Amino acid sequence: MESTLQGQLKSWRHHLHQRPETGFEEVDTSAYVANILKTLGLEVERGIGGTGLVATLRAGSSPRAIGLRADMDALNIAEHAPGRAHASLNAGKMHACGHDGHMSMILGAARLLAERRDFDGIVRFIFQPAEEHGRGAKAMMADGLFERFPVDAIFGAHNMPGMRAGTFATRAGGIMASEDNFVIHIKARGTHAARPHMGIDPIVIASQIVLALQTIVSRNLDPGLQAVISCTEFITDGIRNVIPSHVTIKGDTRSYSKEVQALLASRMREISEGICRTHGAQCQFEYTHEFAPTVNSPEYVDLAVTAARNVAGATSVDANVQPMMISEDFGAFLQAVPGNFIFIGNGETHARGGVPLHNATYDFNDKILETGARYFAEIARLALPRNRPCAS
């Protein structure tokens, strides 16, 4: 039989799923979340970093504080879910990454903690905009997030299709990679396809660059470190019988440290400019940092693992999961304050909840909502225990 809490969580999530809003446009989402939090008796401040908000709950007398974070934005994807009663009502937009579920879990934790007040300190419920493009966390911090709402640690989670529903996985150190974007503009000299000797062919030059970039990880990076370089777009201004004058290569890199990021950027620039110079072409190289790596603090990994085990059982928690090359805006928060990020299984591949993230048929698995809510509430109890022993 469905619990009262589970019914409430489903109702919240289905409402949010039907009304997706993308980055920095989460006006109605923010208002809906704020209203629930105010009804629960929390102090709510809106408009932080654009559409972000923070709700504060206090119990006892300790000045210690933690943050529990949920992301709010959806994606510009048209939902394909015939028969789904709670499908998106906003054309061309959907919660294809489960942020509707993340918000509902944090709201559930707020309800549990507000009802019981079984902690000593301050819990900040942080609802962040614009996670998908890696700008929301920075916007909230630029707006004084941690100065106005200080925390000693911050905790976040993401549902993970492919993991058994309701299981948890985390690790100390890097758990998700940085994402850096690059654009390489090659300016050469176009010519007739039948007379290639009259020009400088940027397709040949660009092809050599794409291949050469793949040697950086294998020949310049310590084998004990990890990185990925992916060229994802190859754009020319040529046509069938015209060798182009311009080629643009776009792509991204993934890694776990600033040192590796710097190495990738330096070597990519040197290789691109060097190959162009060899062929008499011009090169413009651009490299931007989009997502910081998500690096968990060891002292809070143990706390998160204990909370997960208390909620789901010891056999349902992986405390040393393999790091993933995906990226998350939560990494920016962890550069400012310590904390932990954890994965919650959404469902195995062929089971409910197993559809990949960012897929038009994806849906957050309602069965894990209460598990997630109880996990975050347990984090607060463990991080802010009542009857804390006095220092001797």
- Evaluate whether residue 206 is within a structural domain: yes
Give the chain's domain count.
Answer: 2
Of 291, 307, 328, the domain-final residue: 291
Provide mean pLDDT across the span 351-358: 93
Same domain flag for 13 and 138: yes
- Evaluate whether residue 323 is within a structural domain: yes
Same domain flag for 166 and 297: yes
Residue 136 and residue 142 in contact, taking contact as beta carbons nearer than 8 Å = no
Same domain flag for 11 and 106: yes
- Evaluate whether residue 245 is within a structural domain: yes
Total-model pTM = 0.92
Lowest model confidence (mean pLDDT) among 164-168, 321-325, 350-354: 350-354
Concatenate the DSSP letters of all residues of 106-158 into one string. Answer: HHHHHHHHHHH--SSEEEEEEEES-TTTT-HHHHHHHTTHHHHS--SEEEEEE
Q: Is 158 annotated as a binding residue?
A: yes
The Cα 137–Cα 177 span in angstroms is 16
Q: Is 14 annotated as a binding residue?
A: no
Q: Is 99 annotated as a binding residue?
A: yes
Q: Is 259 annotated as a binding residue?
A: no
- Evaluate whether residue 185 is within a structural domain: yes
Encode pLDDT of 298-319 as tens digits.
Answer: 999 999 999 999 999 999 999 9
In 264-298, which positions are buried (b, 16+ CB within 10 angstroms) versus exposed (e)? bbebbbebbbebbeeeebebebebeeebbbbbbbe
Question: What are the angstrom distances between the C-alpha of 204 and each of 208, 216, 238, 243, 245?
Answer: 6, 20, 13, 10, 12
Same domain flag for 242 and 344: no
Encode pLDDT of 201-213 as tens digits.
Answer: 999 999 999 999 9
Same domain flag for 224 and 246: yes
The Cα 265–Cα 56 span in angstroms is 41
Same domain flag for 307 and 192: no
- Evaluate whether residue 392 is within a structural domain: no
Domain that holds residue 78: 4-175+293-383
Same domain flag for 35 and 158: yes
Encode pLDDT of 223-260 as tens digits.
Answer: 999 999 999 999 999 999 999 999 999 999 999 999 99
Q: Which CATH number is 354's domain given?
A: 3.40.630.10
Q: Is 290 annotated as a binding residue?
A: no
The pLDDT value given to residue 352 = 87
Same domain flag for 371 and 236: no
Same domain flag for 31 and 158: yes
Same domain flag for 299 and 237: no
